[in-house]
Chains A and B, each alone.
Chain A
């Protein structure tokens, strides 16, 4: 087939591969390891595509969907802040509750006009699977299953539970730890933690575990389930559906998957975050609302949580790399099944399916490609180095499957939102602000002391001119915007100029490298109705650097730079110019300057629909 050219298509198939890194793709193409992507490149073309500022999944896919820069859709970071309380908030959606008498409603914070809305207006259907920032799904002609942003049953992006017979195990990030007692005969009675109770505590479901040491397995019983669930050592269980009685009249349904790490000498057992039940989600996750139940009925239970991969279980050491990899494969397989199920009946309009696992896998396995990575303390098993490449080959197979659904009136696009890079060193941005007099602490508190780890706990707002929150954002403590703002509007420019001057080119003294490539103001980066919600400045990092772990939620740790010793050793929140994504299309296109806002006009034009009035890019097809 030759390039399809700038003609009107009847189908557009977009396969999103989150975080696919051009350097790896290009090397593997060269080595002939990605035959389907190579075929696509031959049919049309390939290029690196400029990502958004910042290079983050929800920001980039929102720009993909709406064809506008973040100033036009309002997603600037995973995190935003409440200027009245100086608190970090999840930026993707918010819960609105008018008063105590009505239930909360979830509101998608991604604004702008997405492709599928324009297609719906033009009478064309869309199938949109797992696009970030589609929670709750909007009405459209076609079907939608929400992606990144869908929480677990406790309302966060994922809180897991670790059950152990060991004493004194402390809960790490995003988890609960429940000590268990093994009774004679190997029986354990414990609880699955469900939604929080309004006045404290958790709603729970009782779990009865029967350990079978010789069989290297356990049998799990939960009320309402006639047959026990068998869970083998070193394996992920099937889904367990659970019902939490959350009130006199209300039950909330969820589902959970377990991983049995070991039975002895200490019992170590992991429960995934409790996902919404597709048949009875706590808040809508699909459009039409019953669509999620249909998928489950046809294809089996699936992860409904937006970030399905249990990276915190690996970071916290609750299971090992092979378990994490196995879980990523489960996610990948169910997504591939869903893709095929929908492509089987897809005949017109837009098809979009996002595969998140390359991003989540690379975050956790990147370090194995770097012998000097601080997280590789005990030396990395060499076989793990091959994991990322192996994953890319699997994705190439999925692309091949998608290509089989394309005819000569189908535009096929394979796209990543950003690339991936190394994360070896973190910069404590708030500590830098403290060191340079932009941020003050109360009562003689010092960085790194006591509970200075988040929520700006000891920040003296009456003496603070700037603070860092999120993955690289800086905010001025501006009069009449922040609750205790002290920077008058007419001095804002000078404060910003000082921050830019002080941070640009900042060096990591230990490594002698430039850590910060640039600091850009929101006016330089964004235009549009939501500009006012953006951080005042965005700090861009060199490869290998990022904001430190303590920075995003408002911590002021000790020291300026720190080694990243977490297994989350790869990241992409660096200078966006240095982490472009990949773009393949089955038609010739203008590769030079290709940027994410070009995708919406390209897709719309391919389907004969004019771009939305705010859209900034252009139809890339030649």
Chain B
């Protein structure tokens, strides 16, 4: 699952895949603005067939929180690695 998420972040933010890791955030990804944030959330919803709540959306502010939010969907086994 992590690979799919990083790939989408790379595509949406137009940022090299190698430079994306668990600690990435708007601080080090220059193209991560609020508009791309919205695009990212929409893309993740489409990719994983999920619907985030508004609270989850505003909480997804960096890679770590995104991964935590995705992992909170149970059963996690529905999301294929």
Chains A and B are bound partners: no
